[in-house]
Amino acid sequence: MDTKKIKALGAKTADSPLDTLVIERRVLGVNDVEIDILYCGICHSDLHAVKNDWGNTNYPVVPGHEIVGRIKDVGKNVTKFKVGDLTGVGCIVDSCRNCDSCSHGFEQFCENGFTLVFDGPDKHLAGRTYGGFSESIVMDSNYVLKIPESLDLASAAPLLCGGITVYSPLKHWKAGPGKKVGIIGIGGLGHLAIKIARAMGAHVTVFTRSEDKLQDAKRLGAHDAVLSNDPEQMRKQSKYDLLIDTVSAKHEVNMFLDILNIDGSLVLVGLPNEPLEIGAFNVVNGRKSFSGSNIGGIAETQEMLDFFAEHKLAADVEVIKVDQVNEALDRLERGDVKYRFVIDMASLKN
Ligand code: NAP
Ligand code: ZN
Ligand code: ZN
């Protein structure tokens, strides 16, 4: 198959910094679009993958799954997009389209495995897929999102993974008026969860271990902020209907299960590389649920983007150039970002 060579940023091993690489993209198929990448967010999952935290990374890895770009070319069967349109791409670039999950819009749970935008098996070229830390991408137009005109492009990028990952469970577990919702961890996902839950009408409390984020929590839309490593403050908490746990490392969850209401749910979206310990008494008392959620389907991702436009919300971003990306990954590891790094991908062309 013919391919086109482009520039990307990738890691060759778990210990090497990201560096410029040349990768190949397939030529445009009839249902494909070619997207010139303008911005790409840095999610903690990119960092987990680069560092091989989950033990399953294939190198070289080109991360990036919070992509905003402009359509450069369209295949002859594509009607949804035209050259020049502003688009978004998240984690999912393909799926089987036939299974029960796909036919219900749950491509994230495709029974045959959806194709991840990076480090997934590439159906067209041999080898693995390469993500958004690159100049451009060629992919099936059915998995491409429309960026509403009113959204700022750099701050729309984190919505493509961070936004949908928290929007989906907040909607599924019915965050809204009369509901007491807690968000655990104020990072990329957590800060978006605060904004979404507030816009949905819930009473929102954030739990952070970082004292310097307490003030910010209210600016982001939380009604209350709790220092989760202060047992005195934790003892005063009770009767949460829903807790969204965005913590990226192994942590204590029983103290959060304890503050759920009867029939309350703690929903894990963070992906620590070690199992979490749950005490039986922490769930049986109060018929509590410990659950999880994984990104969201394509239609729901579009709904989330439209929700951000309708409610005039945006991610809080720090836009960086390509030569700052390794420093950004170090800072993300230390929790030193307010609240999402976004790479200006045009700087890769220079
Ligand atoms: P992030 O920006 O690094 O935020 C994670 C937050 O967790 C930190 O800001 C910190 O908040 C808290 N935290 C980190 N280490 C902690 C520790 N040891 N103990 C307690 N709290 C800690 O990361 P992110 O991009 O939001 O991603 C969060 C997690 O979700 C990652 O594991 C990522 O891989 C995963 N993820 C999952 C999905 C999915 O579909 N399920 C999608 C995207 C990302 P405070 O400073 O406020 O305490
Ligand atoms: Zn992500
Ligand atoms: Zn499927």
What is the pLDDT tens value at each position of the chain, 350 positions in all? 789 999 999 999 999 999 999 999 999 999 999 999 999 999 999 999 999 999 999 999 999 999 999 999 999 999 999 999 999 999 999 999 999 999 999 999 999 999 999 999 999 998 999 999 999 999 999 999 999 999 999 999 999 999 999 999 999 999 999 999 999 999 999 999 999 999 999 999 999 999 999 999 999 999 999 999 999 999 999 999 999 999 999 999 999 999 999 999 999 999 999 999 999 999 999 999 999 999 999 999 999 999 999 999 999 999 999 999 999 999 999 999 999 999 999 999 87
319 lines ligand 1 (CB under 6 A): no
Amino acid letter, residue 181: V
Show the tokens assigned to 238.
């009770």
Cα angle 76, 24, 36; round to 5:
55
269 lines ligand 1 (CB under 6 A): yes
User: What's the gap in Å between 200 CA and the centre of ligand 1?
Assistant: 22
Helices (runs of H) and strands (runs of E) counted in the chain = 11, 17
In Å, how far are 47, 48, 250 from 275, measured between CA atoms? Answer: 19, 15, 7
Q: How far is CA 348 from the centre of its chain?
A: 22
Closest ligand by atom to 103 CA: 3
| Residues with C-beta atoms within 5 A of ion ligand 3 | 95-96, 99, 102, 110
Closest ligand by atom to 340 CA: 1
User: What's the gap in Å between 324 CA and the centre of ligand 2?
Assistant: 19
pLDDT of residue 230: 97
User: What's the gap in Å between 16 CA and the centre of ligand 2?
Assistant: 21
User: What's the gap in Å between 132 CA and the centre of ligand 1?
Assistant: 20
In Å, how far are 51, 89, 137, 316 from 9, measured between CA atoms? Answer: 15, 17, 13, 23
246 lines ligand 1 (CB under 6 A): yes
Rounded Cα–Cα distance for residues 323 and 335 (Å):
20
Instruction: Answer for the pair 132, 40: CB distance below 8 angstroms, yes or no.
Output: yes
Instruction: Answer for the pair 332, 43: CB distance below 8 angstroms, yes or no.
Output: no
pLDDT of residue 270: 98
Rounded Cα–Cα distance for residues 299 and 306 (Å):
11
Rounded Cα–Cα distance for residues 80 and 69 (Å):
15
Rounded Cα–Cα distance for residues 129 and 198 (Å):
36
Residue whose tokens read 């579009």: 302
Nearest atom within ligand 1 for CA of residue 162:
43
- Non-local CB neighbours of 223 within 8 Å, separated by 6+ positions: 198, 203, 204, 205
Rounded Cα–Cα distance for residues 139 and 246 (Å):
29
Closest ligand by atom to 226 CA: 1
184 lines ligand 1 (CB under 6 A): no
pLDDT of residue 126: 87
Rounded Cα–Cα distance for residues 75 and 41 (Å):
27
Instruction: Answer for the pair 26, 1: CB distance below 8 angstroms, yes or no.
Output: yes
| Residues with C-beta atoms within 5 A of ion ligand 2 | 43, 45, 161
Rounded Cα–Cα distance for residues 145 and 142 (Å):
8
Rounded Cα–Cα distance for residues 274 and 79 (Å):
45
45 lines ligand 1 (CB under 6 A): yes
The protein residue with its alpha carbon nearest to ligand 1, atom 35, reads: 270
The protein residue with its alpha carbon nearest to ligand 1, atom 13, reads: 247
The protein residue with its alpha carbon nearest to ligand 1, atom 46, reads: 210
Show the tokens assigned to 103.
């036919």
User: What's the gap in Å between 302 CA and the centre of ligand 2?
Assistant: 16
Show the tokens assigned to 199.
């816009």
